[in-house]
Amino acid sequence: MKKTNLKKKSIKLKVYYYDTDKMGVVYHSNYLKWMEMARTEYFRDVFPYKSMEELGFILPVKTLNIDYIDSAKYDDEIEVFAKIEEINNIKIRFSYEMYDSKNVLKAKAETVNVFVDNDGNLKRISDELLEKLTK
């Protein structure tokens, strides 16, 4: 697996009432949505998902690990950082960190995404595409 020195990229978002439970705490599955948003934005400048799909690739999550550190709450401003930690022709390992506006770590996570075809079969990307993804 190729290690990378890619920079972290981030998105900023606001916690809305519908993201929370009755106590005003963000419901756990919203963090997964935020990670997906950050991953999508990460690729937008490098090689957009739409371009990957046009080449016959999709990138589902194979594994997910998340540590909830401190509850995000209603009306918090959250910044979600995404970074590719390792990549090869068949999978990508991302790390994520989610902070509030006071720089308090709310959660950290990792996903492994795999390249598959439209039928869900593993499909290796070319070395050229791998090179584009690691620039």
Tens of pLDDT, residues 15-27: 999 999 999 999 9
Residue 1: predicted pLDDT: 52
Question: CB within 8 A of 56, min separation 6: which ones?
Answer: 117, 118, 123
Spans in the chain with pLDDT lower than 70: 1-6
CA dist., res. 115 & res. 52, Å (int) = 10
3-state helix, strand, coil in the chain (%, to 5): 25, 40, 35
Residue 6 tokens, joined: 């890619």
Q: Among 19, 21, 76, 100, which one carries the catalytic annotation?
A: 21
Residue 47: predicted pLDDT: 87
Q: Is 21 assigned a catalytic role?
A: yes
Amino acid at 64: L
If DSSP states are collapsed to H, E and C, what string results for 42-78? HHHHHCCHHHHHHCCCECCEEEEEEEECCCCECCCEE
Domain-wise residue ranges, the chain:
2-133
Output the pTM of the full model: 0.91
Displacement of CA 116 from its chain's centroid (Å): 17
CATH superfamily label, 2-133: Hotdog Thioesterase (3.10.129.10)
What's the mean per-residue pLDDT of the chain?
93
